[in-house]
Amino acid sequence: MKKLNVLLICGSGASSGFMAASIRKVAAAKGVDITVNARSESEIENYLDEIDCLMVGPHLAYLLDEVDELVGGRDIKVARMKPEYYATLNGEMALDHILSLFK
């Protein structure tokens, strides 16, 4: 599998920043080649040409339709992060979710 470039989106970027760090740590331990960045939702358009996957914070589910429109015809997997791993910053569960989108 090629290196994955993942963007996590939350309101301010703070909680998703911790989530991104947790995913990076688990990915490194498992030897998964992945880049994970966290940004606020206002910055999505700046990254659309360089990402493979866009993960939206659970509390931003209302943005999914708008995100789908922004993504348009690009080959980008879009998913809502699950509250059960987002709330606990469980990088392993989050990584498993991301990788499952590419199977």
Structure confidence by residue, pLDDT tens digits, 4-43: 999 999 876 578 899 999 999 999 999 999 999 999 888 9
First to last CA, the chain: 10
Q: Which fold has domain 4-100?
A: Rossmann fold (3.40.50)
Provide φ and ψ at 31, rounded to 5°.
70, 25
Q: Which residue type does 6 have?
A: V
Q: How far apart are CA 17 and CA 92, in angstroms?
A: 15
| Domain ranges across the chain | 4-100
What pLDDT does residue 69 have? Answer: 93
Please report the DSSP string for 60-73 in residue order. GGGGHHHHHHHHTT
Question: 92 Cβ partners below 8 Å, 6+ apart?
Answer: 26
